[in-house]
């Protein structure tokens, strides 16, 4: 069939998007004039450039004149001096590497997230790309375009190509790119754009020399930026950059006198929001309004809001949401019986009435509520009943927030969310271990962050391999100013080898408890007695019994019959059995105890341990309940790190804390809060 002559030709999204992306793509050079091209980057917010860590850190190194931009080059990963030069058009702009993860690396491919943020030292009026707010659980099948610069004679030249995404590499957010177009030197750090949705979804990481295509890092990995202070948004780098990004686009959308095309215009032209609840303009306006609110108090409170409007928590996400924009992105593809628009409007109301770590910005909240009212009133499918419900929900939430003594989602009052690390020996492969890292919210649902059950991991490689998954689990579970407990669930034979939390990248002041993956099988009477001991230690002050040391002299551990006969408020402790911790702790566990203290480091025979005895007794008495021991030990570790001599007695103190009311995942019982 011959098309009619007057029918418009389909729009190629690239024709609309390529000029916008090219204008925001920059070059990364060293700090001194005359340095070669190290890679590419792009403006994500006013005076902020996003690129790869291996590009930024090389560009800021004083001895990297001869390095190439791709990761296969020798000598990558030199320690970052902070200064870089950003080339934009014919201008050379001074900047500093504000954040890079990792900040340095040896030879070979840099590990994920391999991202860096560069802050310009002088204000510059420049365009910015549009960053996706979605939290995709899988890679897109849409065609993508990538951008950057390549070395030229005499100046670097802009470059762009098209390809597809052929898959993912592990669970670290690295995307595999097809080989439809060449990826030359210099383009590393440039943007990867979804041509159907019209948004930047990744950062070009590396070409794969001798292999097909290349790799990119998903934009979601920016959420791994260190958390700031919810009470002071200026201290949270992720909020600063993302809020500035959304306000940049909202301001340009509202400034109708500008003759230049905006990203919102481009989204309308290519139909990026066709079939969605919001038009491109509405989405831009909403993101700009959300950006003016303080950030969520913590990830848990944001997930509570998302769960309330979705009808359930969003599980299985590669990286947890962190800002209001991230929460909005989780509402675009609902399949839970409610309309997308209703969920978006309720989300706006919840964001505008959320608890704040600092004083609420009433003007920003009223502006967001006004947008929700106007949008709901203009939407034909929405009933009057829903609009009335929206008004009632806002009023009830504001009343609850203003009520004297109302419970806030403040960090000190949020208990329960915990990170869980489980390690399992591979019996058929001695020295290799399977593992799983999970986030356990207050509801008790276990959300796996990352796991390895295929090839296993050598013991010496476990610590390095687990740091990134644990960091993500901590971010999901931590409140603002409150570090969640990490449960180390280990077989008894590993307790003595894997109890130094520093090798996992765990902060000194994070509460740490050890659990056993190989608890003994018990009949009903023994299980009841274990539960009774647990309740007693949490309902009344425990009494510390040091079992293996008598006035500084090592003594044999009591047998099981003796231990079982002791009062239920007994809190067993080990002073000199650290070298034989698996066997000593094994006997305590078999005797019906689920809480115990011990020193990780062996104690020489000539060492005086009276300060340890006194200190432990004071600490347990101060706790007045076994439930307060995890955070008390975290405080002690932090004071040791700060060099407080009076607390040196507690160096290496560990806590076995295996809650019999909360079985580990994999049992027939759900993991729930008691």
CATH node for 11-218: 2.40.10.120
Block means of pLDDT (10 residues each) for the chain, 674 residues, are 59 91 95 81 95 86 39 34 87 92 83 91 90 84 92 89 86 82 89 96 80 84 83 82 92 77 94 90 96 90 90 83 94 70 94 86 91 90 89 92 54 63 90 93 84 90 91 88 90 78 84 92 93 95 92 87 96 80 85 93 80 89 93 91 81 92 65 34
- pLDDT value, residue 64: 37
- Report the relative pairing of strands 485-490 and 418-425 from DSSP bridges: parallel
> Which residue, 243, 284, 264, is CA-closest to 48?
243
> Which residue, 496, 512, 672, is CA-closest to 599?
496
Can you give the length of the chain in residues? 674
- φ/ψ (deg, to 5) at 345: -70, -40
Question: In Å, how far from its chain's centre is CA 244?
Answer: 20
- pLDDT value, residue 361: 81
- pLDDT value, residue 231: 67
328-355 residues labelled b (16+ CB within 10 A) or e (exposed): bbbbbebeeeeebbbbbbbbbbbbbbbb
Residues 172, 181: contact at Cβ < 8 Å? no
Residues 120, 95: contact at Cβ < 8 Å? yes
Is the Cα dihedral 643, 646, 648, 651 positive or negative? negative
Contacts of 631 (CB under 8 A, 6+ apart): 485, 511
Strands of 321-446, DSSP E: 418-425, 432-440
> Which residue, 106, 221, 300, is CA-closest to 471?
221
Which H or E element spans position 283? helix 280-291
CA dihedral 624, 625, 626, 630 (to 10 degrees): -70
Peptide bond into 199 cis (omega under 30): no
d(CA 427, CA 455): 13
Is the Cα dihedral 485, 486, 489, 492 positive or negative? negative
- pLDDT value, residue 80: 38
Residues 55, 38: contact at Cβ < 8 Å? yes
d(CA 54, CA 281): 36
Residues 568, 533: contact at Cβ < 8 Å? yes
Task: Report H helices in 478-590.
Answer: 524-539, 560-565, 581-590
> Which residue, 168, 241, 244, 160, is CA-closest to 195?
160
- pLDDT value, residue 424: 93
Angstrom CA distances, 358 to 351, 409, 670, stand at: 14, 12, 36
- pLDDT value, residue 121: 85
Determine if residue 261 is left, alpha or beta; phi over 0 gives left, psi from -120 to 50 gives alpha, anything else beta: beta
Sequential DSSP letters for 583-608: HHHHHHHHTT-SEEEEESS---TT--
């Amino acid at each position: 069939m011959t098309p009619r002559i007057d029918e418009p030709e389909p729009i190629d999204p690239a024709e609309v998007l390529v000029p916008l992306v090219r204008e925001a793509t920059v070059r990364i050079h060293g700090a001194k004039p005359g340095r070669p091209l190290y890679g590419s980057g792009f403006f994500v917010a006013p005076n902020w450039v996003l690129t790869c860590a291996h590009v930024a850190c090389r560009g800021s190194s004083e001895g990297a004149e001869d390095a190439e931009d791709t990761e296969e080059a020798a000598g990558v990963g030199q320690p970052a001096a902070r200064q870089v030069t950003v080339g934009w058009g014919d201008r050379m702009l001074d900047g500093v590497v504000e954040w890079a993860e990792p900040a340095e690396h040896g030879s070979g491919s840099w590990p994920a997230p391999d991202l860096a943020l560069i802050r310009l030292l002088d204000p510059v009026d420049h365009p910015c790309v549009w960053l996706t707010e979605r939290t995709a659980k899988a890679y897109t099948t849409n065609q993508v375009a990538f951008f950057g610069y390549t070395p030229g004679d005499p100046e670097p030249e802009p470059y762009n190509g098209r390809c597809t995404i052929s898959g993912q590499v592990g669970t670290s957010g690295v995307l595999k790119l097809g080989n439809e177009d060449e990826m030359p030197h210099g383009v590393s750090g440039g943007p990867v754009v979804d041509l159907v949705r019209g948004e930047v979804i990744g950062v070009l990481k590396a070409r794969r020399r001798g292999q097909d295509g290349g790799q990119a890092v998903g934009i979601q990995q920016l959420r791994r930026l260190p958390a700031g202070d919810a009470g002071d948004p200026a201290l949270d780098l992720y909020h600063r950059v993302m809020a500035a990004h959304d306000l940049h686009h909202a301001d340009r959308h509202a400034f109708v006198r500008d003759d230049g095309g905006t990203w919102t215009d481009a989204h309308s032209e290519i139909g990026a929001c066709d079939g969605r609840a919001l038009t491109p303009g509405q989405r831009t306006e909403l993101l700009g309004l959300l950006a003016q609110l303080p950030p969520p108090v913590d990830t848990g409170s944001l997930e509570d809001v998302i769960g309330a409007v979705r009808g359930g928590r969003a599980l299985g996400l590669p990286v947890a949401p962190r800002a209001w924009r991230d929460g909005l992105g989780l509402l675009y593809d609902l399949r839970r019986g409610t309309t997308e628009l209703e969920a978006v409007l309720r989300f706006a109301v919840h964001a505008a009435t959320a608890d704040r770590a600092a004083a609420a910005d009433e003007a920003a909240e009223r502006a967001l509520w006004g947008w929700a009212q106007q949008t709901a009133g203009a939407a034909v499918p929405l009933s009057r009943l829903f609009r009335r419900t929206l008004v009632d929900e806002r009023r009830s939430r504001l009343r609850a927030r203003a009520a004297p003594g109302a419970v806030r989602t403040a960090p000190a009052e949020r208990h329960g969310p915990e990170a869980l690390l489980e390690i399992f020996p591979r019996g058929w492969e001695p020295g290799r271990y399977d593992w799983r890292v999970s986030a356990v919210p207050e509801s008790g649902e276990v959300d796996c962050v990352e796991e390895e059950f295929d090839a296993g991991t050598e013991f010496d490689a476990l610590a390095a391999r687990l740091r990134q998954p644990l960091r993500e689990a901590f971010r999901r579970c931590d409140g603002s100013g409150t570090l969640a407990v990490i449960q180390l669930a280990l077989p008894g034979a590993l307790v003595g080898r894997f109890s130094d939390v520093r090798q996992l990248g765990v902060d000194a002041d994070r509460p740490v408890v050890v659990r056993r993956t190989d608890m003994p099988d018990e009949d009903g009477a023994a299980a009841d007695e274990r539960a009774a001991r647990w309740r007693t230690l949490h309902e009344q002050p425990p009494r510390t019994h040091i079992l293996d040391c008598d006035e500084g002299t090592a003594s044999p551990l009591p047998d099981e019959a003796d231990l079982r006969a002791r009062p239920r408020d007994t809190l067993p402790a080990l002073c000199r059995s650290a070298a034989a911790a698996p066997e000593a702790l094994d006997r305590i566990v078999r005797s019906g105890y689920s809480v115990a203290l011990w020193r990780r480091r062996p104690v020489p025979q000539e060492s005086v341990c009276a300060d340890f005895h006194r200190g432990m007794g004071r600490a347990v008495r101060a706790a007045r309940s076994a439930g307060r021991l995890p955070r008390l030990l975290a405080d002690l570790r932090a004071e040791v790190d700060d060099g407080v001599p009076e607390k040196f007695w507690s160096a290496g103190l560990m806590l076995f804390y295996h809650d019999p009311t909360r079985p580990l995942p994999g049992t027939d019982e759900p993991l729930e809060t008691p």
